[in-house]
Amino acid sequence: MNNTTRRRFLAATAGVTLGAGLVASPTAAQPDETDLSSWFVNTDGVAEIVDARGQSSVDITVGAAGNGGAFAFDPVAVYIDRGTTVIWTWTGDGGTHNVVAKDGSFESEYYDSSGETFETTLDTEGVVRYACAPHESMGMKGALVVGDVTATLGGSETAEATETASKPTETYDGWLSGTDNYRRLVDRRGESEVIVKVGAQGNGGQFAFDPPAMRVDPGTTVVWEWVGDLRYDVVDPELGYHSEQIARSGHYFAVEFDGHGLSTYECTEYGEQGMRGVVVVGAGPTKQLSTLGYTVVGGGALLFGGPLAYGVREHFRNVSMTPE
């Protein structure tokens, strides 16, 4: 399945499941429900409600940086007048996004291309909470405060909630319990290849994978790219794949995952310091994947041949490359 077909398929299925679910159970916006701290409990960087009153239109970016990738609206929360036109513009980053109001008052199509827009005009006073349906659980949420309404972000309560949200309860049987840069499971579904930085800042130095935890589709190639200055490797002790242990920026190691399951990996030297990671593949998480495959990285680009697949624990090859 090519990238375009994959994105269209994801958009179509998301529209049937997530989108339909959101509209089927609307939560009406109430003017007196002005504390937004619980709504934004898992949303990064909500420091203020931007005041755009007095403007006839307001622009909001879809797919801005945040929440572990390009999974944010910018600005996140906005004061507007009644009758203001709100225009959302897609960056093209972060995969497929949409904009859907929790009260059912508006809903866009699913887009993944830069420059796509959606607009609506709000004439009813109150607070409207909205989200990107595929990425709401990751914190991709927004709010429009319409008319003569005063909203708050909860002050210290929001800070406390954010601190709690920054410590995930899911640690994969404790595998990520000591990984201090682990905040959430980053959704990278819909991408054929994803990059994980090796030797990123975290755990007291250049001792982190970034992102440390992500979900991918079966058939996705995960590429680990060395960015730190120390000696690192990538090892899954459960499944049995492992890279070279090497200290060289620009080194790569790639694994193509196929099947459904969970891969828990670490750096041998610094794993006990928290340099660990998780890849949830497809439906996961289970302790085994049906198959694993490897592909080669050279000169900074993936070199794809035919699809490779090897039985778990049986026929492994370690393939990595450092550009000359």
The model carries a pTM of 0.47
Q: CA dist 310 to 41, 221, 314, Å?
A: 42, 14, 7
Q: Given 103, 130, 165, which residue is the final one in a domain?
A: 165
Considering the domain boundaries, does residue 242 fall inside one?
A: yes
Count of domains forming the chain: 2
Burial of 213 (0-12, 13-18, 19+ CB in 10 A): buried
Q: How far apart are CA 208 and CA 170, in angstroms?
A: 18
Residues 152 and 250 placed together within one structural domain of the fold: no
Q: Specify the CATH number for the domain of residue 253.
A: 2.60.40.420
Residues 199 and 81 placed together within one structural domain of the fold: no
For the stretch 153-158, contacts whose Cβ atoms lie closer than 8 Å and that sit 24 or more positions apart, written own/partner, are: 153/36, 153/37, 153/40, 153/46, 153/47, 153/48, 153/49, 153/77, 154/35, 154/36, 154/37, 154/38, 155/37, 157/35, 157/37, 158/37, 158/40, 158/41, 158/46
How would you write the pLDDT of the chain (324 residues) with one tens digit per residue?
333 333 332 333 333 222 222 222 333 334 344 789 889 988 987 888 998 888 889 999 999 998 888 999 999 999 999 999 999 999 999 999 999 999 999 999 999 999 999 999 999 999 999 999 999 988 999 999 999 888 888 754 444 444 444 457 788 889 999 998 888 888 888 888 899 999 998 888 999 999 999 888 888 889 999 999 899 999 998 888 889 999 988 899 988 887 788 899 999 999 999 999 999 888 776 544 544 443 333 333 333 333 322 322 222 333 344 444
Q: What is the DSSP letter of 287?
A: S
Considering the domain boundaries, does residue 63 fall inside one?
A: yes
Given a contact cutoff of 8 angstroms between Cβ atoms, the answer to whether 289 and 312 are in contact is yes
Residues 125 and 198 placed together within one structural domain of the fold: no
Q: CA dist 148 to 58, 104, 145, Å?
A: 17, 21, 9
Q: How far apart are CA 82 and CA 163, in angstroms?
A: 34
Residues 111 and 144 placed together within one structural domain of the fold: yes
Residues 223 and 286 placed together within one structural domain of the fold: yes
Considering the domain boundaries, does residue 245 fall inside one?
A: yes
Look up the domain containing 13 and give its range.
3-165
